[in-house]
Chains A and B, each alone.
Chain A
Amino acid sequence: AQSVTQLDSQVPVFEEAPVELRCNYSSSVSVYLFWYVQYPNQGLQLLLKYLSGSTLVKGINGFEAEFNKSQTSFHLRKPSVHISDTAEYFCAVSGTGYSTLTFGKGTMLLVSP
């Protein structure tokens, strides 16, 4: 079984500032890791994923995440946020192969001018 912990329920930040959203996971097997974004009243959109290879993963909208196996973390970063990045961000983990996703509780990113 897997679990995901997103320690921050909300992260307020000013526009053009950098941001990091934290995600830690636990699993007894090899995992794939994902970050999804949910804009208000919309479905989920995949930001980026780690399946294997380079531990630094680049996604859409200028986001990137780094897989750290020793710390069981997959933190999401963006060097300069925009107002339009205001949304709920979910970290998720799955086992390898066709496998179900386990989601964290989500982090609300609030970007203000």
Chain B
Amino acid sequence: SAVISQKPSRDICQRGTSLTIQCQVDSQVTMMFWYRQQPGQSLTLIATANQGSEATYESGFVIDKFPISRPNLTFSTLTVSNMSPEDSSIYLCSVDGLAGGIGYNEQFFGPGTRLTVL
């Protein structure tokens, strides 16, 4: 399985500011995803992070609000821009398609970043 780390693990931010969350994997992966889990809710896919091209966003999520980068096969960032209290959530990255095809169609999740916006 993949070992995934996220930074920061938690943060408290002021309204109107931006926060960039990092996701690092210990091996090259084909697919990387970003999810949001609002308090007491299930996970909602924000976008698929594509290596070398623009991310693919789900309905209701836009690049201006959630810019994503993926410079290589082991790293991605998600920025939450111009934050409001409604952005308070846990943000999780996940990966699929490990090197050599191991774990094909089995997503592994990072520990999450717990964001509180005041």
Contact = CB atoms under 8 A, between A and B. Distances in A.
A98 B42 contact: no
A5 to B, nearest CB: 11
Given A49-B106, A98-B30, A98-B105, A44 B92 contact: yes
A101 B96 CA distance: 11
A104 B112 CA distance: 18
B98 to A, nearest CB: 12
A79 B33 CA distance: 34
Contacts of A32: 105
A100 B48 contact: yes
A94 interface: yes
Contact of A90 (B31, B43, B111, B114): B43
A103 interface: yes
Interface residues of B, number: 24
A105 interface: yes
A2 to B, nearest CB: 12
Contacts of B112: 42-43
Nearest to B96: A98
A44 B90 CA distance: 12
Interface in A67-113: 90, 94, 96-106
B109 interface: yes
B25 to A, nearest CB: 13
A41 to B, nearest CB: 8
Given A32-B105, A44-B92, A100-B48, 14 more contacts: A42-B111, A43-B109, A43-B110, A43-B111, A44-B43, A49-B105, A51-B105, A90-B43, A94-B105, A98-B31, A98-B104, A100-B45, A103-B43, A105-B41
